[in-house]
Structure 1
Amino acid sequence: MRTVIFDLDGTLADTSRDLLAAANHCFRAMGLGDMLTHASDAKVALRGGKRMLTEGLTRAGQYRDATVEEYYPVLLEAYRGAIATHTVIYPGAMEAIEALKAAGYGVGICTNKPEALAEQLMQQLGVRDVFASLVGADTLPVRKPDPAPLFEAARRAGGAPDMCVLIGDSDTDRRTSANAGVPSVLVTFGPAGEDMAALKPEALLHDYADLPDVVAALIGRNPLA
């Protein structure tokens, strides 16, 4: 079976506001106040918790590795407690995924978010059962851009690892697909959308309504053949 594997943050859903809120919770606990804003730092949010802490502490002139390590668990706990307050699935995503499934493709998720948090988020958004697999940052000993998590997501979705396509929104996703020897589709509607063309993926996606045709062009229209 051919499979379509999705990144989560910035690809399936805009999680940036809830991620930034968790980081700012940490900065307030340090006595710094809110250091990150959605207008300026949505892209930073999608780089992960440690990247957000590093950015805020650097701006405050208080960056230390030890401080990042100390507050990273605090950030995760804050995020866990308000993981879906402002998060929204991108328009048309679920309709496109249902169309792919109806056409016979397997669908799964491969994310660098910790698996438990990814599972929690998808459950709270009410869409976990749509996906046949979910592989997170800590599911395997390695994470993206190593291709192993992508291959594992494809396998768990019932597909052949060399017959998948990765839908993502970052240089990490582009490198993952290149390392795996499979095509990538990068979305342009996420916080880093304007940067995607420079990464030269096999395709760019401007609207989820176009995804079934894009996938068919890359890995074939007869997934059960």
Structure 2
Amino acid sequence: MKTVIFDLDGTLADTSGDLIAAANHCFRDMGAGDVLDPVQDAGTALRGGRAMLTLGMSRLGRGDEVATIDRYYPMLLEAYGAAIDVHTQMYPRAMEAVEVLKAGGYGVGICTNKPEGLAETLLQRLGVREAFGALVGADTLPVRKPDPEPLFEAARRAGGDPARCVLIGDSDTDRNTARAAGAPCVLVTFGPAGGDMAALEPDALLDDYAALPALVDRLLA
């Protein structure tokens, strides 16, 4: 079976608002107030918790305090898990595209660098977990993206051949994962960093999920 494997944050769903809120919870605990902006810093949010803490600490003139970032990272994850779906929304037509792909005989799965437990919780809260045949998170395996093994594992768990998969993502991490796996990569242009995707030279760019099924057919022909 051919499989279509999706990144989660910034690809299937805009999770940036809830991620920024969790980071600002940490900065308020430091007495610094809300250091990050939900709009301006959305791109950094989708790169993960440590990236947000590092950016905020640098704005406070404390970017070299690695121990502080390490100490607050668990607090960030706890705050995020407690309010994981307040602002998060699936991107338009994403789930419609998933259903069309499944009807066309493709397996579908998720390969994310979000911890698996948080990804599982979020997908359940959004009511879409059952649509995906596989979920591989940052801590599912001993390695994470851009190592290709999480992508291969997601394809296997979705019932497919790892050599016949395509990765849908939104970052250089996804592009590098696909490159390491020898798999085609589609990068979405509607996320916070969408304008930068063309420079990464993916196999295709996606402006609207309505176009994905035909694009996948072409790439995996």
- Aligned to 1:39, the other structure's residue is in SS state coil
Residue 62 of structure 1 and its aligned partner are, at CA, apart by 2.0
Q: Which structure 2 residues correspond to residues 139-218 of structure 1 after superposition, within 5 A? A: 139-218=140-219
In structure 1, C-alpha distance between the alignment counterparts of 2:160 and 2:180, rounded to whole Å: 18
Q: What is the Cα deviation at residue 182 of structure 1? A: 0.5
Work out the CA distance in 2 between the residues paired with 1:40 and 1:96.
Answer: 29
Structure 2 residue aligned with 1:82: 83
Q: Which position in structure 1 is the counterpart of 2:139?
A: 138
Rounded Cα–Cα distance in structure 2 between residues aligned with 1:114 and 1:179: 22
Residue 44 of structure 1 aligns with which residue?
A: 44
Alpha-carbon distance in 1 for matches of 2:183, 2:94: 21
Match of 1:92 in 2: 93
Give the counterpart letter for 1:12 in structure 2. Answer: L
Superposition map of 1:20-59 within 5 A: 20-59=20-59
- Matched residue, 2:15: 15
Residue 205 of structure 2 aligns to which amino acid in structure 1? Answer: L
Q: Percent identity?
A: 70
1:51 shift after superposition:
0.6
| Aligned residue identity for 2:6 | F
Bigger mean CA deviation after superposition, 26-35 or 58-67:
58-67
C-alpha separation in 2, matches of 1:121 and 1:72? 19
How far apart, CA to CA, are the structure 2 residues paired with 1:86 and 1:26?
18
Unaligned runs of 5+ in 1: 221-225
Partner of 1:166, secondary structure, is strand
Deviations 1:134-189 (A, max 9, x none): 00000000000000000000000000001000000000000000000010000000
How many residues get paired?
220
Q: Which moved more, 1:133-142 or 1:54-63?
A: 54-63
- For the residue of structure 1 that corresponds to 2:77, the secondary structure is helix
Per the alignment, residue 5 of structure 2 pairs with 5
What one-letter code is carried by the residue in structure 2 that aligns with 1:148?
E
Structure 1 residue ranges, 4+ long, deviating more than 4 angstroms after superposition = none
1:102 maps to 103
How far 1:40 sits from its partner (Å)? 1.1
Cα distance in 2 for residues equivalent to 1:76 and 1:207:
31
- 1:149 maps to amino acid: P
